Amino acid sequence: MTFSDVLVSASQDGAIARAVEKILAGKLVVVPTETVYGLAADATSSEAVLKIYSAKERPSFNPLICHVSSVDMAARFVDMPDIGVNLAEKFWPGPLTLVCSLKPKSGIAEEVTAGLNTLAVRCPANAKTRQLIAKTNKPIAAPSANLSGKLSPTRAETVQASMGDRVDLILDDGPTNIGIESTIVAIDDSGITLLRPGTITADDIFNATGETVKHRNSSTITAPGQLASHYAPDAEVFLEQSRPAEGQIFIGFGDIECDVNLSRSGDLHEAAKNLFEALRQADKGLPIAVAPIPHTGVGIAINDRLKRAAAARPEASDD
């Protein structure tokens, strides 16, 4: 099979039908979401889910997000407390992942949760991918479509270049709108806990529901994927630099002179959208200096990803 067979436009006639067929046959399909591209497989098939771990070279202890096409579909697999239903009704389809108790006999392959008794569920905003999920009528496990520890892909071409020979189909729906992965919150009797910041902020959740979002105690790793280093370019990354040192590539923010600008107008949503592509473009072997990003609103999620990009890399990094 050549690359051109693997990459198809999601709008092309028959593309979704072909993707449905592949998923039902236990194959790997790269799907667009509003955040980043995902590496999708049937979450009810251990064999299919194991292919995700092996294609990504992902450690088996790091669980996967299950994608659904509606709140009702999510409720087939998890016990959704009222606050979960409320959050889903307010923010779905959209970049919010809810970690809830897994239902007994949910049918979800145990490899998806890496043995946990919780499941992360999310309904993505991309209409083509929701269509794919609805047509398969299967929960779809999909981590970001990058090799474990590398930058998440915001374009189909990036996935093709790094994983084109490891997947059965890539649905191209253009560059993603949001650019960084979904916000993840855990919901249990104690309320809402933020596990991964994203463009839906704790303030957004408070404003929509009146619920205060607790922050994860950093000494306990409740999201196994929250290890210090991932989203890593190959080059060394220096943060909060007002100007680059000699021989560094400079990623800027705002109206400054730089090699790659996250947002000339200083818009944090635009910066999030450009973040991973900017790191990828800057990753040419020279060290990378990054301008300070305000630590408010979406800036919190951007700084989270940058901190991980700059962290020392352990042997087994995250996802």
Distance CA(189)–CA(159), nearest Å, equals: 39
Does position 184 bind ligand TXA by CB under 6 A?
Answer: yes
Bridge partner list, 31: 38
Does position 193 bind ligand TXA by CB under 6 A?
Answer: no
Does position 133 bind ligand TXA by CB under 6 A?
Answer: no
Q: In this structure, what are the phi and psi dihedrals at residue 30, rounded to the nearest 5 degrees?
A: -85, 125
CB 182 within 8 A of CB 64: no
* Nearest residue (beta carbon) to ligand TXA: 225
Does position 49 bind ligand TXA by CB under 6 A?
Answer: no
Distance CA(200)–CA(50), nearest Å, equals: 30
Does position 319 bind Mg ion by CB under 5 A?
Answer: yes
CB of 95 to ligand TXA, least distance (A): 6
Cα angle 302-303-304, degrees, rounded to a multiple of 5: 90
41 burial (CB, 10 Å; 0-12 / 13-18 / 19+) is buried
CB of 259 to ligand TXA, least distance (A): 27
Does position 99 bind ligand TXA by CB under 6 A?
Answer: yes
CB of 247 to ligand TXA, least distance (A): 32
Among residues 8, 28, 35, 163, the one that binds ligand TXA under rule CB under 6 A: 35
Does position 59 bind ligand TXA by CB under 6 A?
Answer: no
Does position 63 bind ligand TXA by CB under 6 A?
Answer: yes
Among residues 44, 118, 136, 199, the one that binds ligand TXA under rule CB under 6 A: 118
The smaller minimum CB distance to ligand TXA, of residues 99 and 290, is found at: 99
- Identify what 121 binds: Mg ion, ligand TXA, none; CB under 5 to 8 Å per kind: none
Q: Give which of 176, 146, 148 is closest to 161, Cα–Cα.
A: 146
207 burial (CB, 10 Å; 0-12 / 13-18 / 19+) is exposed
The smaller minimum CB distance to ligand TXA, of residues 15 and 58, is found at: 58
Distance CA(268)–CA(293), nearest Å, equals: 8
Does position 223 bind ligand TXA by CB under 6 A?
Answer: yes
Count of residues of this chain found to bind Mg ion when the rule CB under 5 A is applied:
2
Cα-Cα-Cα-Cα torsion 125, 254, 146, 315, nearest 10 degrees, comes to -140
Q: What is the footprint of Mg ion within residues 139-178 (CB under 5 A)?
A: 144
Bridge partner list, 250: 289
CB of 63 to ligand TXA, least distance (A): 4
Does position 62 bind Mg ion by CB under 5 A?
Answer: no
Distance CA(126)–CA(33), nearest Å, equals: 5
- Provide the token pair at 173: 């729906």
Q: Is 152 helix (H, G, I), strand (E, B) or coil?
A: coil
CB of 121 to ligand TXA, least distance (A): 9
Q: Tell me which residues touch Mg ion (CB under 5 A).
A: 144, 319
Q: Tell me which residues touch ligand TXA (CB under 6 A).
A: 33, 35-36, 38, 62-65, 95, 97, 99, 113, 116, 118-120, 122, 124, 142-144, 181-182, 184, 195, 222-226, 319
